Amino acid sequence: MAMAQDSPGALDAKDFDRHRPQLMKYAMLQLRNPAHAEDAVQETLVAAIRGAASFAGGSSVRTWLIGILKHKIIDAIRKSSREQSLDQFETSTEDMDGLFRPDGHYEEKPAHWGNPEEALSRRRFFEVMELCMASLPKATAQAFAMREVMGLETREICANLNITTSNCWVLLYRARMKLRECLEKNWIKAGGR
Amino acid sequence: MIGLSCKDSSRLMSLEQDQPLTLGQRIALRLHLVICTACARVKTQLAFMRRAARDYPGPDNDDPPHRH
Protein backbone atom coordinates (compact mmCIF):
# COMPACT_ATOMS: atom_id res chain seq x y z
CA MET A 1 0.00 0.00 0.00
CA ALA A 2 1.27 3.49 -0.83
CA MET A 3 2.50 5.47 2.14
CA ALA A 4 2.54 9.20 2.65
CA GLN A 5 5.82 11.02 2.05
CA ASP A 6 8.00 10.85 5.09
CA SER A 7 7.92 14.57 5.73
CA PRO A 8 7.88 15.94 9.28
CA GLY A 9 4.52 15.39 10.88
CA ALA A 10 3.18 13.47 7.87
CA LEU A 11 0.36 11.08 8.55
CA ASP A 12 0.66 7.56 7.31
CA ALA A 13 -1.75 4.74 6.48
CA LYS A 14 -1.83 3.61 10.13
CA ASP A 15 -3.09 7.01 11.29
CA PHE A 16 -5.98 6.72 8.88
CA ASP A 17 -6.72 3.06 9.26
CA ARG A 18 -7.62 3.30 12.93
CA HIS A 19 -10.59 5.46 11.92
CA ARG A 20 -11.87 2.75 9.60
CA PRO A 21 -14.56 1.34 11.97
CA GLN A 22 -16.07 4.78 12.55
CA LEU A 23 -15.99 5.65 8.88
CA MET A 24 -17.65 2.33 8.11
CA LYS A 25 -20.41 3.09 10.60
CA TYR A 26 -20.92 6.54 9.09
CA ALA A 27 -21.07 5.15 5.55
CA MET A 28 -23.37 2.26 6.50
CA LEU A 29 -25.84 4.61 8.14
CA GLN A 30 -26.34 6.33 4.83
CA LEU A 31 -25.71 3.64 2.24
CA ARG A 32 -27.30 0.63 4.02
CA ASN A 33 -25.18 -1.70 1.92
CA PRO A 34 -21.98 -3.22 3.33
CA ALA A 35 -20.26 -3.56 -0.06
CA HIS A 36 -21.03 0.03 -1.08
CA ALA A 37 -20.01 1.33 2.35
CA GLU A 38 -16.76 -0.65 2.21
CA ASP A 39 -15.98 0.80 -1.23
CA ALA A 40 -16.67 4.37 -0.09
CA VAL A 41 -14.43 3.94 2.96
CA GLN A 42 -11.67 2.32 0.94
CA GLU A 43 -11.74 5.13 -1.62
CA THR A 44 -11.66 7.64 1.23
CA LEU A 45 -8.58 6.05 2.82
CA VAL A 46 -6.78 5.87 -0.52
CA ALA A 47 -7.58 9.52 -1.19
CA ALA A 48 -6.46 10.43 2.33
CA ILE A 49 -3.10 8.69 1.91
CA ARG A 50 -2.54 10.42 -1.44
CA GLY A 51 -3.52 13.76 0.01
CA ALA A 52 -1.94 13.37 3.45
CA ALA A 53 0.43 16.28 2.77
CA SER A 54 -2.56 18.57 2.27
CA PHE A 55 -3.99 17.80 5.71
CA ALA A 56 -3.72 21.20 7.33
CA GLY A 57 -4.15 20.14 10.91
CA GLY A 58 -6.51 22.34 12.86
CA SER A 59 -9.46 20.01 12.55
CA SER A 60 -9.09 16.45 13.77
CA VAL A 61 -8.00 13.71 11.40
CA ARG A 62 -11.41 12.14 11.82
CA THR A 63 -13.20 15.32 10.75
CA TRP A 64 -10.94 15.58 7.73
CA LEU A 65 -11.57 11.95 6.75
CA ILE A 66 -15.33 12.37 7.14
CA GLY A 67 -15.13 15.41 4.87
CA ILE A 68 -13.66 13.18 2.15
CA LEU A 69 -16.07 10.35 2.91
CA LYS A 70 -19.12 12.59 2.44
CA HIS A 71 -18.23 13.10 -1.21
CA LYS A 72 -17.73 9.38 -1.73
CA ILE A 73 -21.10 8.67 -0.10
CA ILE A 74 -22.89 11.19 -2.33
CA ASP A 75 -21.28 9.58 -5.40
CA ALA A 76 -22.47 6.17 -4.23
CA ILE A 77 -26.03 7.39 -3.53
CA ARG A 78 -26.15 9.01 -6.96
CA LYS A 79 -24.98 5.81 -8.63
CA SER A 80 -27.38 3.47 -6.84
CA SER A 81 -30.33 5.86 -7.30
CA ARG A 82 -29.82 5.69 -11.03
CA GLU A 83 -29.96 1.92 -10.87
CA GLN A 84 -32.97 1.40 -8.63
CA SER A 85 -36.12 3.43 -8.17
CA LEU A 86 -37.70 4.68 -4.98
CA ASP A 87 -39.94 2.34 -3.00
CA GLN A 88 -43.57 3.38 -3.47
CA PHE A 89 -44.36 3.56 0.23
CA GLU A 90 -41.63 6.15 0.81
CA THR A 91 -43.40 8.64 -1.46
CA SER A 92 -46.71 8.45 0.44
CA THR A 93 -47.50 10.60 3.49
CA GLU A 94 -49.79 7.94 4.91
CA ASP A 95 -47.46 6.95 7.76
CA MET A 96 -47.17 10.58 8.91
CA ASP A 97 -50.92 11.08 8.71
CA GLY A 98 -51.09 8.42 11.43
CA LEU A 99 -49.34 10.81 13.82
CA PHE A 100 -52.45 13.00 13.77
CA ARG A 101 -56.09 12.59 14.71
CA PRO A 102 -58.72 13.17 12.01
CA ASP A 103 -59.17 16.75 13.29
CA GLY A 104 -55.47 17.47 12.64
CA HIS A 105 -54.28 17.45 16.27
CA TYR A 106 -51.37 15.28 17.38
CA GLU A 107 -52.36 11.78 18.51
CA GLU A 108 -49.70 12.12 21.17
CA LYS A 109 -48.76 15.66 22.16
CA PRO A 110 -45.06 16.41 21.59
CA ALA A 111 -43.21 16.66 24.91
CA HIS A 112 -41.25 19.60 26.25
CA TRP A 113 -37.55 18.85 25.62
CA GLY A 114 -36.07 21.26 28.16
CA ASN A 115 -32.52 22.26 27.20
CA PRO A 116 -31.52 19.60 24.71
CA GLU A 117 -28.25 21.40 23.76
CA GLU A 118 -26.49 19.58 26.57
CA ALA A 119 -26.93 16.38 24.58
CA LEU A 120 -24.53 17.65 21.92
CA SER A 121 -21.56 16.95 24.18
CA ARG A 122 -22.62 13.36 24.80
CA ARG A 123 -21.48 10.43 22.70
CA ARG A 124 -24.53 8.49 23.79
CA PHE A 125 -26.91 11.04 22.30
CA PHE A 126 -25.37 10.55 18.88
CA GLU A 127 -25.64 6.79 19.26
CA VAL A 128 -29.36 7.23 19.87
CA MET A 129 -29.55 9.48 16.82
CA GLU A 130 -27.83 6.77 14.76
CA LEU A 131 -30.35 4.18 15.93
CA CYS A 132 -33.17 6.53 15.06
CA MET A 133 -31.73 7.19 11.60
CA ALA A 134 -31.24 3.47 11.05
CA SER A 135 -34.94 2.94 11.74
CA LEU A 136 -35.93 5.22 8.83
CA PRO A 137 -36.60 3.82 5.36
CA LYS A 138 -33.50 4.01 3.18
CA ALA A 139 -34.20 6.95 0.84
CA THR A 140 -35.76 8.88 3.75
CA ALA A 141 -32.56 8.49 5.77
CA GLN A 142 -30.41 9.40 2.77
CA ALA A 143 -32.42 12.54 2.04
CA PHE A 144 -32.16 13.60 5.69
CA ALA A 145 -28.43 12.90 5.86
CA MET A 146 -27.75 14.87 2.70
CA ARG A 147 -29.90 17.79 3.86
CA GLU A 148 -29.05 18.01 7.55
CA VAL A 149 -25.76 16.16 8.06
CA MET A 150 -24.07 17.24 4.83
CA GLY A 151 -25.96 20.51 4.32
CA LEU A 152 -26.88 20.07 0.64
CA GLU A 153 -29.68 22.09 -0.95
CA THR A 154 -32.96 20.27 -1.66
CA ARG A 155 -32.43 20.67 -5.40
CA GLU A 156 -29.15 18.74 -5.26
CA ILE A 157 -30.71 16.07 -3.05
CA CYS A 158 -33.58 15.45 -5.48
CA ALA A 159 -31.06 15.20 -8.32
CA ASN A 160 -28.81 12.79 -6.39
CA LEU A 161 -31.76 10.59 -5.49
CA ASN A 162 -33.16 10.94 -9.00
CA ILE A 163 -36.64 11.86 -7.68
CA THR A 164 -39.15 14.71 -8.06
CA THR A 165 -39.18 17.75 -5.77
CA SER A 166 -42.47 16.68 -4.20
CA ASN A 167 -41.14 13.19 -3.42
CA CYS A 168 -38.04 14.77 -1.99
CA TRP A 169 -40.21 16.96 0.21
CA VAL A 170 -42.11 13.91 1.51
CA LEU A 171 -38.85 12.15 2.42
CA LEU A 172 -37.57 15.13 4.40
CA TYR A 173 -40.92 15.58 6.14
CA ARG A 174 -41.02 11.92 7.12
CA ALA A 175 -37.41 11.98 8.33
CA ARG A 176 -38.02 14.98 10.57
CA MET A 177 -41.29 13.75 12.04
CA LYS A 178 -40.03 10.23 12.66
CA LEU A 179 -36.70 11.34 14.08
CA ARG A 180 -38.44 13.81 16.34
CA GLU A 181 -40.66 11.07 17.66
CA CYS A 182 -37.78 8.60 18.02
CA LEU A 183 -35.48 11.06 19.84
CA GLU A 184 -38.29 12.04 22.17
CA LYS A 185 -38.97 8.42 23.03
CA ASN A 186 -35.40 7.16 23.28
CA TRP A 187 -33.49 10.18 24.57
CA ILE A 188 -35.76 12.74 26.20
CA LYS A 189 -38.19 10.33 27.87
CA ALA A 190 -35.39 7.89 28.63
CA GLY A 191 -33.88 10.68 30.74
CA GLY A 192 -30.96 11.41 28.41
CA ARG A 193 -29.36 7.99 28.68
CA MET B 1 -54.32 29.22 4.76
CA ILE B 2 -55.85 30.81 7.85
CA GLY B 3 -56.74 28.37 10.64
CA LEU B 4 -54.03 25.75 10.38
CA SER B 5 -54.26 22.35 12.05
CA CYS B 6 -51.21 20.87 13.75
CA LYS B 7 -50.84 18.57 10.78
CA ASP B 8 -50.76 21.52 8.33
CA SER B 9 -48.40 23.32 10.63
CA SER B 10 -45.98 20.37 10.83
CA ARG B 11 -45.78 20.29 7.03
CA LEU B 12 -45.11 24.01 6.79
CA MET B 13 -42.44 23.83 9.51
CA SER B 14 -40.66 21.08 7.62
CA LEU B 15 -40.94 23.00 4.35
CA GLU B 16 -39.58 26.10 6.09
CA GLN B 17 -36.34 24.21 6.80
CA ASP B 18 -35.78 23.90 3.07
CA GLN B 19 -37.24 26.96 1.36
CA PRO B 20 -38.75 30.35 2.23
CA LEU B 21 -42.49 30.20 2.90
CA THR B 22 -44.91 32.50 1.13
CA LEU B 23 -46.21 35.49 3.09
CA GLY B 24 -49.59 33.78 3.55
CA GLN B 25 -47.93 30.62 4.86
CA ARG B 26 -45.74 32.61 7.25
CA ILE B 27 -48.69 34.52 8.68
CA ALA B 28 -50.84 31.41 9.06
CA LEU B 29 -48.00 29.54 10.75
CA ARG B 30 -47.22 32.39 13.11
CA LEU B 31 -50.86 32.71 14.14
CA HIS B 32 -51.02 28.99 14.83
CA LEU B 33 -47.78 28.94 16.83
CA VAL B 34 -49.06 31.66 19.14
CA ILE B 35 -51.92 29.49 20.32
CA CYS B 36 -50.41 25.99 20.02
CA THR B 37 -47.77 24.81 22.50
CA ALA B 38 -47.40 21.44 20.75
CA CYS B 39 -46.36 23.03 17.47
CA ALA B 40 -44.19 25.64 19.17
CA ARG B 41 -42.30 22.75 20.76
CA VAL B 42 -41.92 20.97 17.45
CA LYS B 43 -40.51 24.14 15.91
CA THR B 44 -37.70 24.39 18.46
CA GLN B 45 -37.12 20.65 18.23
CA LEU B 46 -36.65 20.81 14.46
CA ALA B 47 -34.09 23.57 14.94
CA PHE B 48 -32.29 21.49 17.56
CA MET B 49 -32.30 18.41 15.31
CA ARG B 50 -30.69 20.45 12.57
CA ARG B 51 -27.91 21.53 14.92
CA ALA B 52 -27.44 17.97 16.17
CA ALA B 53 -27.26 16.59 12.62
CA ARG B 54 -24.59 19.16 11.70
CA ASP B 55 -22.60 18.04 14.75
CA TYR B 56 -22.91 14.37 13.83
CA PRO B 57 -20.99 12.10 14.56
CA GLY B 58 -20.53 14.12 17.74
CA PRO B 59 -17.67 14.08 20.21
CA ASP B 60 -14.79 11.64 19.66
CA ASN B 61 -15.20 10.29 23.16
CA ASP B 62 -17.62 10.58 25.99
CA ASP B 63 -17.80 14.04 27.40
CA PRO B 64 -15.61 14.78 30.40
CA PRO B 65 -17.44 14.73 33.74
CA HIS B 66 -19.44 17.91 34.25
CA ARG B 67 -18.44 20.10 37.13
CA HIS B 68 -20.62 22.96 38.23
* 8 A C-beta contact, residue A52 and residue A11: yes
* 8 A C-beta contact, residue A52 and residue A10: yes
Nearest to A175 by CA among B64, B26, B50: B50
Q: What are phi and psi of A44, to 5 degrees?
A: -65, -45
Nearest to A178 by CA among B18, B10, B3, B54: B10
pLDDT tens digit sequence for A116-163: 999 999 999 999 999 999 999 999 999 999 999 999 999 999 999 999
Subunit contact A116:B5, Cβ cutoff 8 A: no
B18, B19, B68: best to mutate for the A interface, most A CBs within 10 A: B18
In B1-68, where does DSSP find H-type helix?
6-16, 23-35, 37-55
pLDDT tens digit sequence for B41-58: 999 999 999 999 999 988
Q: How far is A130 from chain B (nearest CA, A)?
A: 9
Chain B residues with CB under 8 Å of A62 CB are 60
ipTM of the complex, rounded to two decimals: 0.89
